Structures are given as structure tokens and as C-alpha cells.
Structure 1
Amino acid sequence: MTAGAPLLKTWLITGASSGIGFSVTNQLLQRGHKVVALVRSPHKLKALSDQYPTTLFVLKLDLRQSDKIAPAIHHAFQLAGGIDILLSCAGYALVGAAEELDDTAIRAHITTNLLAPIYLAKAVLPYFRKQKSGHILHISSEGGQITYPSASIYHASKWGAEGFFDALAKEVQNLGIQVTLIEPGRIKTEFDNNAVIIEPLLDDYRKTTVGTYLRLLTMGRFPMIGDPDKVAQMIIKITTDKNSPLRLILGSDSYKNIIRETEKRLQTAKLQQQSSKNTDMNFIDDD
């Protein structure tokens, strides 16, 4: 490596066969980095594997099989000779009124979107802790800070992941390990096409916000303005920073929505400054 050239790293990426995960994988390989891709369908990466036979390692893993995650991580570290960065991209949207979602769909979604990223992080931590370095990145969403009707379980997974990785960052901050939540808005990928959509059966939901949201979604009223290749560039860039942000907002739509909702929550909280004291043990009600 020539003087001043960027340090080549090894990435472990889930969801590498499509969307943001694929864009990051492709760009990393073009720059000479190594990638271990954990995917359900390895054949989707065959062309890339043929092009980069010595720097792309493809392992089959269904993230819904939680007991297979730790062994897969162990295999990945052995295969690549070490991992510097974990990027957790795999996930999908479950859309429909909460009351009408069946238990199987809910469990499958939470297992993939929330439990799998937690187990992945837990599995890499012993290695990162031993090497006193490592960076864990998780693709969250503007949906980890805001909500839409008909996406309650999706938001549960994203808000849950936000809480987990926020706390995890505090646990490992003195161990040489960084954590970053990526919060994109609407990115032009196959995300909508891969969503599991449960159309409302009850009139109450067809006639209220759930039905309205689904109709607007079908009409294209929520345009995909984000470029996945530009998103990938930003994700790669922050891993070169000495102190990466805990949260990285990507997309003007995500920024606008997160700022609006954060300001509303802050305003509501401030209105309760006095009433919040009423439950303190030493509070005396003068009235």
C-alpha cells in the first residue's frame, strides 16, 4: 500500500445482495476492501463473486434462524482472517393495521429486523473487544425516530434497535468500539417491493389513517428521493472518521421529518416541566 493510501478494511455485511447493502458491498470491493457477505440467497452475488474472487466471501445465512448467527460470525472471522466493521442491512417492512397482523408475521418481522441485529452485534463483540477496535453500523431509518399509521411493528423494530444500539454505544465507548445508527429516508431501492403488506379487512381501518396511508403509498405520494450509491458513499466515509456520529441522518426527507417530530416531542415535554414534579417524594402541593 502506497503512502497516504486509505487503510484497507474487512467488512461483514448482512443484506448485501440488494439495496443499500449491495451498493456498499460493490463500492468497497471496487476500492480494494474485503467483504464477507451474509445472505439468504448467495446466487444473487455470483457475478460479484466472479469479479472479486479473492476479496468477496459469501456465506449463506437466514437471519430468522437465530441459533445460526453466532456460528456464522465465527466462520466469517476465520475465513477473512478478521473483521473490522459490521454493517447490518438486512430487513424489510411489515405494513398493516396492528390489530389485523397475525402472530406469525409479527414474530418473523421482529426476529429479522430487531433480534437478528442484536444477536449479530453480540456475536462480534468478543472479537472486537479482544482486538480493541471495531465499528458496528446498523441501518435504522427515519422510522426509528418518527412513525406512520400502518407501520406499527416496523417502527417497533426500528425504535427497539435505536434503543439497543444507543445503549450499546455507551457500554463499549471505552473499549475502542464505535457504534453508528444510519437513519435514511426514502431510498430508491426494492424496499417497497419487498414489503409485506396486509390490506385492511375491517371498514374501521379502511376508512381511517391506515387505509389513507396505504392508498397514498400506492399512488406514489411518498417518493424515493435517495440515491443508494450516495448513501453507500456516506456510510463508507464515516468509518474513516476517528469519531463517527452515533446517528447519521441521510436524505433531506429524513432530516425534515426527524427534526419536525423531535421538536414536537421536545415542546410537549417542556410543557410538563411543572407537572412532572408532582410525583417526587419531596413535592408539596401548595394548592
Structure 2
Amino acid sequence: MTATIAKTWAITGASSGIGLAVTQQLLKQGSKVVALVRSPQKLQSLKNQYADQLIIIELDLNQTEKIASTIQAAFNAAGRIDVILSAAGYALVGAAEELSEADITAHIEANLLAPIFIAKAALPFLRHQKHGHIMHISSEGGHITYPSASIYHASKWGAEGFFDALAKEVQALNIAVTLIEPGRIKTGFDEHAHVTDIAIEDYRKSAVGAYFRLLAMGRFPMIGDAEKVATRIIETSTMPKPVLRLVLGSDSYKNITRETQKRLDSFIAQAETAAQTDAED
């Protein structure tokens, strides 16, 4: 048995996109998967095929009050879970001023609070096992920003900060943390995006309007392959010392490194003025 086959995974978003690709590959390899999904019926055909390996538990990520009990049920059902993969999420698109408070709240609940609560609920079990790996699908959008995606970026930048700090907290406990940072992948992600069209004329003339026009023109192509992404995620879970940030896609690598360098250059240029606010001895 390989290291991959010996592991049991819990996966949110297991019924579509990257989460589904990871789930299918794991099942084919003989692994056990606990799928935490909002619509269990979407995985019924897989359940029929892998009855002994696939456990399906219903979980709506916007019902955050149910996350702790659901994670406990997942560990009770599986006996042991080695890898927690938060793969669920969606895009919220529109000028910040035009987004409804309800949409903003729902998005932050699903994209940021739910993965945090899942990790928090899983940690007692992972500590008891003295082993575990928490993986979260972030995005290049956790390092860069586009106009009209402010709340999406808030969720991804927030997750980057949380899981980065968490990795330091659990490093000595034999629990690994990995932030997965893909670029644009060929999945149904765009089709499931919640889009608020521009109603305020000022935004049609701004960077928001330009971004909407570029999207319509197909200027942001999806170059990533979901199956290859899933394979790299699984491979990373078998590493003795998994990376904290797993960059996937040449577009993600280019965008992240470019924006990080620009940010660094800006900081370096402020070296002298930053020191001017230090207290004098």
C-alpha cells in the first residue's frame, strides 16, 4: 500500500470542481473519503460504485452552527481522518458598493468562516491522533486582486492569514497545513459565480466596468487542468514535509510573483520613512 492509499480524507465541495476530481482519484486509488456536501444526491453514482470507501454527510457551509457536530460525525463514521480538504467555495462578483449585505455575509460565511470552523473542529481529533494534514483551496486571489472581486479577495486573503498562523500553532503537533493556490482552472467555477451587474453609471466607466468587459471578451482564459491539479494535491499530501503554499498553474505563479515583487519594492522604498516613526531612546 502506498502512502496515498493508506489515508482517509474529509473533503468539502466533493461534488464538483477540484473537490470532485480529488475525490474520484482517491477512490480509484483505494482511499476512503468522507464527502461533506450540500447536495448528497450529486454523489449517489459514486456511492453506488464505491460503497465501502465513500461516506457522504450533508453539510451546508452557510449553516456554520452545524459544522462542529458534522466534523465530529465525520470522524465517528470514518474512525480516523488523515487529511481535511476544504475545497468548497464560490466567487462573488460586483462593485463593493453594489453588493448586498446579505450576499457579502453569505460569501464570507462559506468561503472564510466555514473553513476556519472546520479546521477548529478537526484539531482536537488530529491532536489525539498525533497526526493530520489540513489543506485549504485558496487561490492566486489570496495574493493579488481584481476590481469587482473585493469580497472574494477578502475571503482568500483572510484564509491566507488564518492558515499561515495556524501552521505555526500546530507545527510541533505533527499536523501539517497547506494553502493550495491555483490560477484559473477549467471547472464550473465561473458558471457558479454570484454576479451583481453594474447599475451605478460611475462604475461602468471605472476599472470595474473594464474588468466586466474583459471577462466578456474572454481575456482571462482558464488554462489549468482540474485532474492535474487534483493529482498534485494528493501528491503533496504524501510529502514528509508538505509545503505551506502550493502554487498551481503558470498563470498563478506569474501573477503571485509579480504582485509580491511590486509589494516588496514598495516596502523597500519606504525603509527610511518607516524608521522615522520609531521612538527615540
TM-score by length of 2: 0.98
Counterparts of 1:261 and 1:254, CA distance in 2: 11
Partner in structure 1 of residue 76 of structure 2: 78
Contact 2:10 2:36 in 1 (8 A): yes
Shift of 1:5: 7.1
1:1-287 → structure 2 map (5 Å cutoff): 1=1, 7-282=5-280
Counterparts of 1:63 and 1:7, CA distance in 2: 28
- Answer with 1 or 2: which has the greater Rg: 1
Counterparts of 1:274 and 1:58, CA distance in 2: 57
Aligned length: 281
Counterparts of 1:220 and 1:188, CA distance in 2: 13
Which stretches of structure 1, 4 residues or longer, exceed 4 Å deviation after superposition? 4-7
Shift of 1:81: 1.0
Counterparts of 2:5 and 2:219, CA distance in 1: 42
Counterparts of 2:3 and 2:175, CA distance in 1: 23
CA RMSD of aligned residues (A): 1.0
Shift of 1:6: 5.1
Counterparts of 2:119 and 2:13, CA distance in 1: 15
Counterparts of 1:140 and 1:5, CA distance in 2: 24
Q: Residues 12, 6 of structure 1: CA spacing in aligned structure 2 closer, same or farther, 3 A cutoff?
A: closer
Q: List per-residue Cα deviations over 1:123-173 (Å, max 9, x = no partner).
A: 000000111100000000000000000000000000000000000000000
Q: List per-residue Cα deviations over 1:88-111 (Å, max 9, x = no partner).
A: 001000000001111000000000
Contact 2:5 2:26 in 1 (8 A): no
Give secondary structure in 2 for the equivalent of 1:162: helix
Give secondary structure in 1 for the equivalent of 2:188: coil
Q: Residues 82, 100 of structure 1: CA spacing in aligned structure 2 closer, same or farther, 3 A cutoff?
A: same
Q: Out of 209-218 and 237-246, give the one that drifted further.
A: 209-218
Give secondary structure in 2 for the equivalent of 1:58: strand
Counterparts of 2:211 and 2:84, CA distance in 1: 34
Unaligned runs of 5+ in 2: none
Q: Residues 179, 203 of structure 1: CA spacing in aligned structure 2 closer, same or farther, 3 A cutoff?
A: same
Shift of 1:7: 4.8
Contact 2:4 2:31 in 1 (8 A): no
Counterparts of 1:209 and 1:42, CA distance in 2: 40
Counterparts of 2:134 and 2:82, CA distance in 1: 9
Shift of 1:208: 1.1
The residue identity in structure 2 corresponding to 1:41 is: S
The residue identity in structure 2 corresponding to 1:145 is: H
